[in-house]
Amino acid sequence: MNRFTLAECTSVDAALSQLQDGAVVKAGGVDLLDRMKDGIETPPKLVNIRNIAELRGTRETEQGLTIGPLTTLAEISSHPLIRERYQILSDACGHAATPHIRNMATVGGNLLQRVQCWYYRSADFQCIRKGKEFCFAFDGLNQYHAIMDYTSCPSVAPSSAAVALLGLNASVQLTSAKRSKRMVGIQELYVVPDANPTKFTVIEPDELLTAIIIPRPAAGTRSAYQKYGEKESFDWAIADAGVVLEMDGSTCRRAVVTMGAASPVVRRSAEAEAALQGKPITEETARAAGRVAVHGARPLSMNSYKLDMFPVAVYRTVLLAAGLCGRDPSAAG
Ligand SMILES: Cc1cc2nc3c(=O)[nH]c(=O)nc-3n(C[C@H](O)[C@H](O)[C@H](O)COP(=O)(O)OP(=O)(O)OC[C@H]3O[C@@H](n4cnc5c(N)ncnc54)[C@H](O)[C@@H]3O)c2cc1C
């Protein structure tokens, strides 16, 4: 690990004034310190925002819910209002990583964590996400990689919270050192590797993520998230799904279906959504949504098993969101 200076900040203003000359923000530090210990990043300065009280907690407004980025995954998963009205988010945060990590990890850091591709995470491999020409995953070990939406880099979106927040049509507020603020939707937050392989999000080096804003769900909304992994816990998803259903009685008026570990950035499945909209939610419609969720997928040499896993993840999460079954005992977390 390299030598670095540490700026301890207790206000947003103080943190923003420190964001220069290669300084990097540290929230819980779970992802950032891993990257530094693995030798893939050597920032000269860390700006510790962990103790900025104004960036923590949740606030209900007329429009919906505002969540401070330093709110931990554990706090979100146990929050009564989130459990009742934004189930997809409490499911996603409550089943990410492990209880210990969820106590430390912040939701802002979770959204901004880097991909887990083992070639990217190893200092021994200089891949395109480090500004070089080559991707080792195409001809290498690619069992955890993407099956959709990739060209130059098939690493997958790691954030469970992003899968939920995309389903809820959330936005993030970014505040710059010049104190200007901008709102960015969850989909637009992420830069696809084909556009710029070394830039993972649209956040500039002098910007802080200062709030997450979720619109109030329409009446009759139900939602859920489930993650499937190789291990029961202590690991990222190999297939996951988020489902938001706006119901009119037993008919689905509008559906949003999201997936994380299928592609380099979180995605919505228009095909799965169309399979549910205007129809009653039943075993049959849920299965149909699962089947079409992998429409157009192009598995790599070692991950065609995901063509079976994603349909199951979507099918079971549709039924869970609709209240037609309990949480799948074989789901991870
Ligand atoms: C064994 C294991 C299993 C895991 N399983 C899962 C899983 O199933 N699902 C899942 O989603 N995650 C999983 N994780 C990842 C973990 O949840 C994230 O590493 C964690 O949420 C990151 O949050 P943090 O607060 O520690 O972020 P940090 O490490 O502090 O920051 C992460 C990145 O975000 C930037 N950053 C943080 N906050 C801000 C801000 N407010 N403004 C601007 N930039 C900011 C930092 O500069 C850094 O680049 C797992 C991790 C481990 C170790």
Q: Is the pLDDT of residue 122 over 90?
A: yes
Give the mean pLDDT of 19-24. Answer: 97
Q: Tell me how far apart the alpha carbons of residues 267 and 282 are, in angstroms, rounded to a whole number.
A: 24
Q: Of all protein residues, whose CA lies closest to atom 50 belonging to ligand 1?
A: 97
> What would the pLDDT profile of 26-79 be if each residue is shown by its tens digit?
999 999 999 999 999 999 999 999 999 999 999 999 999 999 999 999 999 999
The predicted structure's pLDDT at residue 333? 86
Bridge partners (DSSP) of residue 255 are 245
Atom of ligand 1 nearest to the CA of 332: 8
Q: Of all protein residues, whose CA lies closest to atom 47 belonging to ligand 1?
A: 25
Tell which one of 11, 16, 30 to mutate to probe ligand 1, the residue whose CB is within 8 A of the most ligand atoms.
30
Quickly count: other Cβ atoms within 10 Å of residue 9's Cβ.
21
Hey, which CATH number is domain 221-321, 3.40.630.30, 3.30.390.50, 3.40.50.300, 3.20.190.10? 3.30.390.50
Atom of ligand 1 nearest to the CA of 26: 30
> What would the pLDDT profile of 67-112 be if each residue is shown by its tens digit?
999 999 999 999 999 999 999 999 999 999 999 999 999 999 999 9
Per-residue confidence band for 1, with pLDDT thresholds at 50, 70 and 90: confident
Tell which one of 112, 121, 163, 182 to mutate to probe ligand 1, the residue whose CB is within 8 A of the most ligand atoms.
112
pTM above 0.95, yes or no: yes
Q: Of all protein residues, whose CA lies closest to atom 19 belonging to ligand 1?
A: 31
Asked if 87 and 95 touch (Cβ cutoff 8 Å), the reply is no
Q: Which amino acid is at 228?
A: Y
If you measure from the C-alpha of residue 239 to the centroid of ligand 1, how many angstroms do you get, rounded to a whole number?
19
Give the mean pLDDT of 308-331. Answer: 97
Angle at 143 between CA 138 and CA 145, to 5 degrees: 65
Q: Of all protein residues, whose CA lies closest to atom 31 belonging to ligand 1?
A: 109
If you measure from the C-alpha of residue 113 to the centroid of ligand 1, how many angstroms do you get, rounded to a whole number?
4
Q: Of all protein residues, whose CA lies closest to atom 23 belonging to ligand 1?
A: 109
If you measure from the C-alpha of residue 309 to the centroid of ligand 1, how many angstroms do you get, rounded to a whole number?
25
> What would the pLDDT profile of 172-208 be if each residue is shown by its tens digit?
999 999 999 999 999 999 999 999 999 999 999 999 9
Per-residue confidence band for 2, with pLDDT thresholds at 50, 70 and 90: confident
Atom of ligand 1 nearest to the CA of 95: 8
Question: Is beta strand 24-26 parallel, antiparallel or unpaired with respect to 5-8?
Answer: unpaired
Atom of ligand 1 nearest to the CA of 236: 8
The predicted structure's pLDDT at residue 296? 98
Give domain limits for the chain: 55-113+156-215, 221-321
Question: Domain spanning 55-113+156-215: which CATH class is it, in words?
Answer: alpha beta
Q: 3-state SS string over the chain?
A: CCCCEEEECCCHHHHHHHCCCCCEEECCCHHHHHHHHCCCCCCCEEEECCCCHHHCCEEECCCEEEECCCCEHHHHHCCHHHHHHCHHHHHHHHCCCCHHHHHHCEHHHHHHCCCCCCCCCCCCCCCHHHCCCCCCCCCCCCCCCCCCCCCCCCCCCCCHHHHHHHHCCCEEEEEECCCCEEEEEHHHHECCCCCCCCCCECCCCCEEEEEEEEECCCCCEEEEEEEECCCCCCCCCCEEEEEEEEEECCEEEEEEEEECCCCCCCEECHHHHHHHCCCECCHHHHHHHHHHCCCCCCCCCCCCCHHHHHHHHHHHHHHHHCCCCCCCCCCCC
- 76: nearest Cα among 269, 185, 225: 225
Atom of ligand 1 nearest to the CA of 31: 29
Q: Tell me how far apart the alpha carbons of residues 190 and 172 are, in angstroms, rounded to a whole number.
A: 11
Q: Which residues form ligand 1's pocket by a CB distance below 6 Å?
A: 24-32, 49, 69, 96-97, 101, 105-106, 108-110, 112-113, 158-161, 203, 208-209, 234-237
Asked if 198 and 129 touch (Cβ cutoff 8 Å), the reply is yes
Long-range contacts of 78-87 (CB under 8 A, 24+ apart): 82/58, 85/217, 85/221, 86/164, 86/168, 86/214, 86/217, 86/223, 87/222, 87/223, 87/224, 87/225, 87/321
If you measure from the C-alpha of residue 278 to the centroid of ligand 1, how many angstroms do you get, rounded to a whole number?
37
Atom of ligand 1 nearest to the CA of 106: 25
If you measure from the C-alpha of residue 286 to the centroid of ligand 1, how many angstroms do you get, rounded to a whole number?
32
Asked if 236 and 261 touch (Cβ cutoff 8 Å), the reply is yes
The predicted structure's pLDDT at residue 22? 97
Q: Tell me how far apart the alpha carbons of residues 68 and 57 are, in angstroms, rounded to a whole number.
A: 5
If you measure from the C-alpha of residue 102 to the centroid of ligand 1, how many angstroms do you get, rounded to a whole number?
10
